Amino acid sequence: MHVLLLKEPREGGSGPDPYIKELASRGHKATLIPVLSFTFVSLNTLSDKLFQPEQHGGLIFTSPRAVEAVKMCLEDDERTEQWNMDIKDKWNAKSIYVVGKATAALVENLGLVPLGEDTGTADVLSRLILEREGANILPLLFPCGSIKREVLPTALRENGVPLDTLMVYQTAPHPDLEKNLKNHFTEQGVPDSIAFFSPSGVRFCLETVRRLSGEQLMQIKFAAIGPTTAEAMTAEGLSVSCSADKPTAEHLAAGIAKALQ
């Protein structure tokens, strides 16, 4: 069976995408089409905050892109040296909160020790933070994107945990998205299953997918990487055949394979 993955290629990864690999091991051919493009902003401000860890109570990362922004602040040799010498250790003395394994792996590459990689959503992560932090801490630094859900900031605010939110990237549709989708449907036909990986992915792709699928739309098994994406799909009137129990290649592939039986 033929599965279309509407997602970005793996961050800095060489070799096949883990989702393509997992689906292949279950006998399904998968194709990946990148959905989003990102522009980084406010990196000078982020850099200033990163190099003054004493002003914050910890860090929160809910996306690989936010970690990438931090990495960009360390591209200068002098900054890297300073980071490795003592700044990194000062942050590690505090809590570094993350959502998901992909983000955790990138955080570890920076020499930081992540907490909460098994929390699959911002909602679950906010509960972990509230268990560990009180209102009397310094603000937690939260670099994020222009399209962020308010679940985590709201939960922390309502419980008096201070948060320093800084938008470090803006999200837009990938410039070749429509063209790539059109070519894919023309060459491969309508996929047996389509997987969405973010609410913005649903928003940017769905109209084109509907138009290209025509009457066959009802036969497609739609999959979601997690509950937030599934909600966005349902809100658009899509029937969600499976939502991954955890946001990993293994869990999603298992769900898709079951839906396609």
- Identify the CA nearest to 192 among candidates 8, 14, 27, 9: 27
Supply the pLDDT for residue 20. 96
Going by pLDDT thresholds of 50, 70 and 90, the confidence category of residue 134 is confident
pTM confidence score: 0.78
Mean pLDDT value across residues 46-70: 96
Mean pLDDT value across residues 18-46: 96
- Compute the distance between CA of residue 204 and CA of residue 130 in angstroms, rounded to an integer: 33
**What are the beta bridge partners of residue 61?**
98
What average pLDDT does the structure give for the chain? 94
Statement: residue 98 has pLDDT above 90 = yes
Supply the pLDDT for residue 13. 59
DSSP code per residue over 75-127:
-SHHHHHHIIIIIHHHHHTSEEEESSHHHHHHHHHTT--EE-TT--SHHHHHH
Supply the pLDDT for residue 100. 84
Residue count of the chain: 261
Q: 185-216 pLDDT, tens per residue? A: 999 999 999 999 999 999 999 999 999 999 99
Parallel, antiparallel or unpaired: strands 29-32 and 163-173: unpaired
Supply the pLDDT for residue 9. 87
Q: CB-based contacts of 13: which residues, under 8 Å, 6+ apart?
A: none
Q: 157-180 pLDDT, tens per residue? A: 999 999 999 999 999 999 999 999
Q: 241-251 pLDDT, tens per residue? A: 999 998 899 99
Going by pLDDT thresholds of 50, 70 and 90, the confidence category of residue 147 is confident
For the CA atoms of 241, 246, 247, 253, the dihedral, rounded to the nearest 10 degrees, stands at: -50
Q: 5-17 pLDDT, tens per residue? A: 999 887 655 678 9
Q: If you compute the radius of gyration of the chain from its CA atoms, what whole number of angstroms results?
A: 19
- Compute the distance between CA of residue 258 and CA of residue 261 in angstroms, rounded to an integer: 5
- Compute the distance between CA of residue 120 and CA of residue 231 in angstroms, rounded to an integer: 15
